[in-house]
Structure 1
Amino acid sequence: MDKKLLGVHLVVRDEETFLSRCLSTIRDLADEVIIVDTGSTDGTLQIARSSGARVIETRWEHDFSKARNLALEHATTEWVLVLDADEALVEGQGELLETLHHTDAEAFEVHIENWLGPESEDRVGYRTVRLFRADRGYRFTGNIHEQIAPSILGLHPPSKFCNSSIKLVHYGYLPEVMQRKNKLARNIAMIQDSLTKNPRDPFQLYNLGVSFCQSGKPQAAYAVLQEARSGTDNNAAYRPTLIRDSAKVMIELQRYDEACQLLQAETARYRDYPDLYCLYACSLEQIGLLAEAYQAYEHAAQCVTIDSKYVIEAGMNSYRPRYGMATISARWGDIKTSESLQRAALKDHPRFRPSLLGLSVLLKRHGCTDEEVRGHMEAIILPACAEDNMLLSGILTEIGAFSTALPLLRASQERLNADGKRNMCECLMQTGQFIEAYKKLDSWKDEIRPLNPYYLHDLALCRLSEGKNLPYSFYEDLPSSEKKIWHALELWIQTMELQDIEQTDPILTQIAKECMDRAVQLRLLRIASKLSELNVLLPRAFASRLYRNGFLHAAAEYLLRFMEQNKLDAEGLFMLGEILYDKGHFGQSVNLFEQAAELDPNCMHARTGAALSYLEMASELISECLREQPDDPTLRNEWQRVENSKKKLTGLRWHTEWNGVQRRNFNAAKIDLPMHDR
């Protein structure tokens, strides 16, 4: 009798959630299914046996290779495909068996796509050996992140490895799965146990660094990955990913110069790795080298990733670099190119939220109404379900199109997730519907409160903006010390009086400042103004909040008043300097920027603003001369040098950046604060 062709092997423990789906995807392919169970206490064993699999029960010895090799000892097939229970075979079934009948390869790499979140951009793909001959004595090595390739390479050259058309989807890195199965703690313990035997093993150091990243410990990951790089051979298969993850940690820790230095060298080594170029571009952008960042994004977009040997995040050679180029173009003032690039990114991925938001902002700058923006977005997204409506309404909420977003949210109200409910409350408050907003906030508090640091402030402002007292339900869960603070603030807003508490109480001042900040965001400027009078420390903070939220006219009046009283600090001088700079009054703006830098020598933004003011004045002067001597090459060269310097300094992110909501406040009345309250 002919030997059976293909076996599928799994090592499992308490996998009833995923196992049936996994087995259903290989049912028509496998001549034999071997499942090694390491101690399941749920329905895993019943599912395995009812599927017809051969089940081997064994004790868990904290060693995945040992369990994998146990399955190999029982194999009766020519080939074996290794799966995890939380994986599914989604592509390549059709030609797999025919390929195995006629190949002289020893092993095949398969494409694995890790799902890291709900969106299609939350994917990371890579190739690895999962399909190999079962009758040649190959064995797995490593107690965790076990590998079969070293065993095969010990007997055969790399030419005996081929790519397959198989694609697996791995669900095990979804946050809810990681948390439920406590995989990170298990992985870290196993890796550290392996390192006690070989403390300088670079592969396990790399794995430990990745686990620290996944655990939200970037500083620990940085140190471990640095040690892993120092001991890793340049030809190691995992080295490109080690560089990628090292750079991501450096960026998270804001070590941009260090990331640039690492990636400048490594992009020269791995010129076809788009992730490295995108990370390099991000680092360059952060330190203000926009032209160089743009070029790095361009290179990433040109990388070919079919059958790539790298671990690649979704979109790193398409919509992600195009989005990066679009944002740089917008900072340069090239709105037409920016819009074109955002649309190109959305052609690659119509639901890519950063580009949807970026394009929406550009359309508003073009003068489109909120309804027109909605029309453009609908043409791209083609909303057909509640998820599409939530994506679209989220974009509209973020650009400040609250009245346009609200009907979409109401239409999907029964299916809103926590973010959708938060957006609905925001839209209700921003459109003055505070009574309904209060009811929603109260009924959805378990979902909204963890997402909203201003939850209590929103509840209070919804009531106080309507002239109503805070109800008993507002106070009942608060500690007694906080009850006293909120009662004092309620009384102050209503009567401008305090009882049983000092105005200088630091906790009162802090909560009043937070409430004032939120009131400005909700355009409840009358309430915010009252709160600013509670303590002598708050008026300047109020002026700053007005400015940061786009109320430029009102902020300017406060700032000028402080200037007359010689009470203006470096931040206030910088803000006034920005206002004058944006109006083209460069001679006056440079004076204010220099005063700000003198008061605060660490205020590099003020120094950049001063330098740009001088360059703008120089550009104006040279332009006047060019009008009289348009053919003078020296003047033309000098003008170009000045323009290049302006472009470089603009990349330093020195200027205040306002979002779509804040830009709507630019033309608000100067000081008529009550008109902003509903």
Structure 2
Amino acid sequence: MSIPTLGVHLIVYNEEKWLGACLERIHTLADELIIVDTGSTDRSVEIAEKYGATVIHSPWEHDFAKARNAGLVHANTDWILVLDADEQVMAGQEEIKEFLSQEEGSQCLIELVNWTGSGPEECIHYFAPRVFRNREGYRYEGMIHEQLVQADQGSLGEIGLNMEHGMKRCSTKIKTATPPSICPLKVNHYGYLPAVMESKQTAIRNLKIIQQALLINPDDAFHLYNLGVTYCQLEDREQARITFLRALNSCPVNAPYRSTLVQDLGKLLYANHELEQARNLLLTEIRRYRDYPDLHTLLGLVEQEYGMAEQAYGYFEKAVKSGLSSKNQAVPYVTEDGADSYIPLTHMADIDKRKGRASYAENHYRSAIKAHQGYLPAISGLADLLQKEGIADSSIKQILVEIIDRENPEHLHKAAYSLMLCGAYEAALSILPVQSIGIEDESWARACLIQTQRKPQAIQRSQLLLERNKGINQELNDQPVSPCEHEQIELALMDWAICSWSCAEALPQVFYQHSNEDSFFYSEIERRMLNIRQQSEIEYLPQPDSGTLLQKAEKLAGRAAACGQKDLPLFMKKAGLLLPSTAGDLLYKHGFRLEAAEQYLGQLAKGDLHLEGMFQLAEYMYDRANYSESLALFEQAITLSKDHNRARIGAAASCLQLAREAAVRMLNTQTAKTSESTFSTLAQDIAELTGSLQRLDDLNWKTSWDSQARRRGV
């Protein structure tokens, strides 16, 4: 059997940044390379000709199908592969010719992986008809999201995608008499990375073309859907919602892109916290798309928000099962990476952990990590579970290192970060490759040093970062730093100050060479705390004219509490740098609940305890089984705000606990022990009260504490 020829076709416009990488991966397999240039003013044409391409110059007419078809008429090969300049073939180059020599159909699917972020899980997968036979009537239709069609057979494919606030979007439409084959090619697409979309102004371009297309056919559901996608790209959620609903109302039930429209609308409703609308939509549509894992996972998230933990668990389980049944098949859906594996598995593990099903939780975390070794929520969830179960830090470290890819520095960093999150600071430092610590790791690496009493080392790392940043700025002629760099500089300064003050040391002059406009605030904070040390019996009140100073002090105290330095916020409160309520809130947030409760009780005695402080003090009393006190405090919180739902649930839980205690006391009386009917009735009452309390717990009304907080006495 003869080996067929394959031509690769692209349309380009100012793609010099991407074109070379694209062509480098396919020029050896292409018997013919045809590039339609729509008016590039950069080096795109030069790069194309370097790889031996035939360049067709075609003026841009705001019509992608016309540009595609301008190249197809010049094709001389047996088969055609269509790519975009910002796509790269990652696998299948060696196998494609042999595959096509045995292919009996006229068109094939390729697997596309659309990257929407830099993380290994920030991508979506789908199959699209990109390989087809030449001279069999194939052409493209549609001004935008052009569709592959064949004479007298209708549409074969249409593609469109978007990413907005972490919501991945894509639609694929395939309409053929028999399922097309899957060819070996796997292609990465980078055009929907946020930075690329911003540089190309993709959303604005698409909006103009779609609006023009809708002038011709205002009720076209596919164009309406893609208009909603574009509104999401432009961060206009309300218009996106309205447009998605219009599209759904006019979309034929059997339209292959309809499932993705449902997914996108459901994600938008969930992101907008329109839970009832999201639930109604998903419960209706999941009957039609029973094997769509993304819908099951999304419905599980919605049910979790409603406090229906076991129902959510069931939907996550269905998502995993639907993924298992579709392995090695071309699924008819656009699916987020991990929606059928590590994402629902991790949610199942979280529920198992909360319900006390430790062995199930561990198995599900391990399965999630096996599916994606770098998935941080699963790694950190497992570390937290093991700490909660009383496993030694050294053993947690050993377990994590054994189940990740130890040769992958990124995975090793995630394991170290997870150990830090569960309070295993020594273990985290022992596996973190110090020589390769990036700026994004510096702040939590210093936090580990501070909490293991290596404060001089933390100061040294802060100073090195600040000096390195100062040198870089001077090389760049003092250009403005990025928000990320500014945050890291601010944290380095705070850590330096926290370490010095917690050791009763003054900040050195070299510190102020780096603090710039914040020098006054650090100097003033230090001066006030020095006064307190010299006059230990005095407690100052915050001055009414020191708003900015108090904001700086609050941020500094929050970082100190996060690093386990509970005494510094209390000392700053005494110096008049923190309000008592603020000191209590910061301590409570980071797990120092006893110290926070003392602050709240002092305010309660004065009659000025704020709402959140009232709730948190009530929660503290509840967790210590002081249910009468917690009930009284929850009721006071409700008096302060009738809409405080967590306080309402807390009050109900306190009442149920009091009733359960009373029933248990009665069960232990002589009367109950001598009367079988009384004993049976009380036992049933206790079981029902316990079940009601468990259902209230599913509402997640209480503060969720991580391992660090648990170690601090939560």
TM-score, scaled to structure 1: 0.88
Question: Is 1:516–1:532's contact at 8 Å kept on the other side of the alignment?
Answer: no
Distance change >3 Å, CA 31–CA 523, structure 1 → 2? closer
Distance change >3 Å, CA 228–CA 450, structure 1 → 2? farther
Q: Once the two structures are aligned, what percentage of the paired residues are identical?
A: 34
- More deviation, 314-323/181-190: 181-190
Pairing 1:173–2:209 present:
no
Distance change >3 Å, CA 150–CA 578, structure 1 → 2? farther
Query: Which residue of structure 2 aligns with residue 427 of structure 1?
Result: 448
Question: Of 176, 200, 205, which residue of structure 2 is paired with 1:158?
Answer: 176
Question: Is 2:299–2:315's contact at 8 Å kept on the other side of the alignment?
Answer: yes
Q: CA deviation at 1:3?
A: 12
Secondary structure of 2:36's aligned partner: strand
> 2: distance between equivalents of 1:243 and 1:152?
29
Q: CA deviation at 1:163?
A: 2.7
Query: Which residue of structure 2 aligns with residue 461 of structure 1?
Result: 498
Q: CA deviation at 1:312?
A: 0.8
Pairing 1:322–2:340 present:
no
Q: CA deviation at 1:341?
A: 1.5
CA RMSD of aligned residues (A): 3.2
Question: Of 546, 550, 554, which residue of structure 2 is paired with 1:505?
Answer: 546
Pairing 1:313–2:349 present:
no
Distance change >3 Å, CA 332–CA 453, structure 1 → 2? farther
Distance change >3 Å, CA 40–CA 402, structure 1 → 2? farther
- More deviation, 73-82/300-309: 73-82
Which blocks of at least 5 consecutive residues in structure 1 are unaligned? 668-678
> 1: distance between equivalents of 2:598 and 2:96?
74
Distance change >3 Å, CA 456–CA 254, structure 1 → 2? farther
Query: Which residue of structure 1 aligns with residue 386 of structure 2?
Result: 363
Distance change >3 Å, CA 599–CA 36, structure 1 → 2? same
> 2: distance between equivalents of 1:151 and 1:492?
82
TM-score, scaled to structure 2: 0.84
Q: CA deviation at 1:506?
A: 2.7
Q: CA deviation at 1:265?
A: 0.8
Question: Of 528, 533, 546, which residue of structure 2 is paired with 1:492?
Answer: 528
Q: Deviation digits for residues 219-249 of structure 1, max 9, x if unmatched?
A: 4433332332222222222111111111112
Question: Of 590, 595, 602, which residue of structure 2 is paired with 1:561?
Answer: 602
Pairing 1:406–2:429 present:
yes
> 1: distance between equivalents of 2:60 and 2:562?
55
The residue type paired with residue 652 of structure 1 is L
Q: Deviation digits for residues 608-653 of structure 1, max 9, x if unmatched?
A: 1121222233344555666747897655554443333222211111
Query: Which residue of structure 2 aligns with residue 243 of structure 1?
Result: 262
Pairing 1:289–2:308 present:
yes
- More deviation, 455-464/599-608: 455-464
Q: CA deviation at 1:75?
A: 1.5
Q: CA deviation at 1:275?
A: 0.2
The residue type paired with residue 165 of structure 1 is C
Q: CA deviation at 1:359?
A: 0.4
Which blocks of at least 5 consecutive residues in structure 2 are unaligned? 157-174, 470-480
Query: Which residue of structure 2 aligns with residue 120 of structure 1?
Result: 120
Distance change >3 Å, CA 43–CA 116, structure 1 → 2? same
1:220-231 alignment runs, 5 A limit: 220-231=239-250
Query: Which residue of structure 2 aligns with residue 60 of structure 1?
Result: 60
1:253-652 alignment runs, 5 A limit: 253-303=272-322, 304-305=325-326, 306-409=329-432, 411-413=433-435, 415-432=436-453, 433=455, 434-443=458-467, 445=469, 448-450=485-487, 457-458=494-495, 460-466=497-503, 467-469=505-507, 471=509, 474=512, 484-496=520-532, 502-533=543-574, 535=576, 538-622=579-663, 628=673, 637-652=684-699
Q: Deviation digits for residues 174-214 of structure 1, max 9, x if unmatched?
A: 34433444434433443344345444433223223323434
- Give aligned pairs, total: 661
> 2: distance between equivalents of 1:453 and 1:473?
12
> 2: distance between equivalents of 1:125 and 1:544?
44
> 1: distance between equivalents of 2:598 and 2:246?
55
Distance change >3 Å, CA 659–CA 213, structure 1 → 2? farther
Pairing 1:190–2:209 present:
yes
- More deviation, 311-320/330-339: 330-339
> 2: distance between equivalents of 1:152 and 1:79?
20
- More deviation, 329-338/424-433: 424-433
Q: CA deviation at 1:79?
A: 2.7
Distance change >3 Å, CA 463–CA 635, structure 1 → 2? closer
Q: CA deviation at 1:63?
A: 2.3
Distance change >3 Å, CA 89–CA 469, structure 1 → 2? closer
Question: Is 1:90–1:168's contact at 8 Å kept on the other side of the alignment?
Answer: yes
> 2: distance between equivalents of 1:417 and 1:24?
31
> 2: distance between equivalents of 1:111 and 1:29?
18
Distance change >3 Å, CA 637–CA 272, structure 1 → 2? farther
Distance change >3 Å, CA 630–CA 81, structure 1 → 2? farther
Query: Which residue of structure 1 aligns with residue 172 of structure 2?
Result: none
Question: Is 2:109–2:128's contact at 8 Å kept on the other side of the alignment?
Answer: yes
Secondary structure of 1:159's aligned partner: coil
Q: CA deviation at 1:346?
A: 1.7
Question: Is 2:379–2:414's contact at 8 Å kept on the other side of the alignment?
Answer: no
> 1: distance between equivalents of 2:51 and 2:40?
16
Distance change >3 Å, CA 580–CA 608, structure 1 → 2? same
Secondary structure of 1:148's aligned partner: strand
- More deviation, 44-53/208-217: 208-217
Q: CA deviation at 1:531?
A: 2.5
> 2: distance between equivalents of 1:151 and 1:514?
66
The residue type paired with residue 400 of structure 1 is G
Q: CA deviation at 1:418?
A: 3.2
